Structure 1
Amino acid sequence: MKKFLIFLLAIAALFILLANIGPLILLGVCVYLLYVIFKKFVKSDSMAGKVIWVLLGLFVLSVALSNIYAVIGLAALYFLYVLFRNNGKEEEIIFNKPSESDPFTNFERQWADMNK
């Protein structure tokens, strides 16, 4: 039942990711453009150039903020990443496995070596 529930959550996360793929792409482009605009703003020497870069940056920032709900798609992508990264890594619990620090195991091994 647990695996079925995880499967249903994975399907829901996949649909959420697919529904938000467009805003995710637009948000990524806007973040890249904001980075480029900031670099151009820092390199600009004239006051008019700085004003133009600030105005352009504010416009791109408003476009980026209108797609902020794409963060839900990022959360779905992260959930799928964690889910598939841990897939198949369930450790089997072995109750009768002796540990190396167990004194009785060492004694048994030494006794077997002496009896050879």
Structure 2
Amino acid sequence: MKKFLLFVAALIALAVLLANLGPMILLGVSVWLLYVVFKQFTKSESTAGKIGWVILGLIILSVAVSNIYAVVGLAAAYAIYWIYKNWTSTKAEDTQVQSNDPFTNFEKQWAELNK
């Protein structure tokens, strides 16, 4: 039942991620453009050039703020990672079988000592 719920949660997170893929790309591009505008602003020596870069930066900032809900897509990507991590850890726990065989316990303890 736990794996089924993890699978359903992964499908929902994947749908949210795919729905927010466009805004995520636009947010990334706008953040990169803001970086470029800032670098050009610091290189500019004239006042008119600085004013122009500030105006362009404000326009790009408004695009970035309008796509800020793309953070939901980033949260969905993290949820998919977390689900994958839990899915693989539950498999590792299921395969470990407790045994009273002294040779198996010795090999397990030897492996722990070598880590």
TM-score class, shorter:
0.7 to 0.9
Q: Which has the higher helix share?
A: 2
AA in 2 matched with 1:36? V
Corresponding residue for residue 15 of structure 2: 15
Alignment correspondent of 1:94 = 98
Aligned pairs (5 A) from 1:20-39: 20-39=20-39
Identity fraction in percent: 58
Matched, 1:49 2:49: yes
Matched residues, number: 100
Larger radius of gyration: 1
Q: Which runs of 4+ in 1 moved over 2 A?
A: 81-100
Structure 2: segments with no counterpart, 5+ residues: 111-115
- Alpha-carbon offset, residue 78 of structure 1: 1.4
* Partner residue in 2 for 1:110: none
Distance 1:83 1:52 in 2: 46
**Structure 1 stretch displaced more, 63-72 or 73-82:** 73-82
The alpha-carbon distance between structure 1 residues 48 and 95, as it changes in their structure 2 partners (threshold 3 A), is farther
Q: Secondary structure of the equivalent of 1:88? A: helix
Deviations 1:11-32 (A, max 9, x none): 0000000110111111111011
Q: CA deviation at 1:79?
A: 1.4
Shift of 1:93: 5.4
Deviation (angstroms), 1:80: 1.2
TM-score by length of 2: 0.78
Structure 1 CA distance, aligned partners of 2:78 and 2:20? 13
Secondary structure of the equivalent of 1:94? coil
Q: CA deviation at 1:86?
A: 5.0
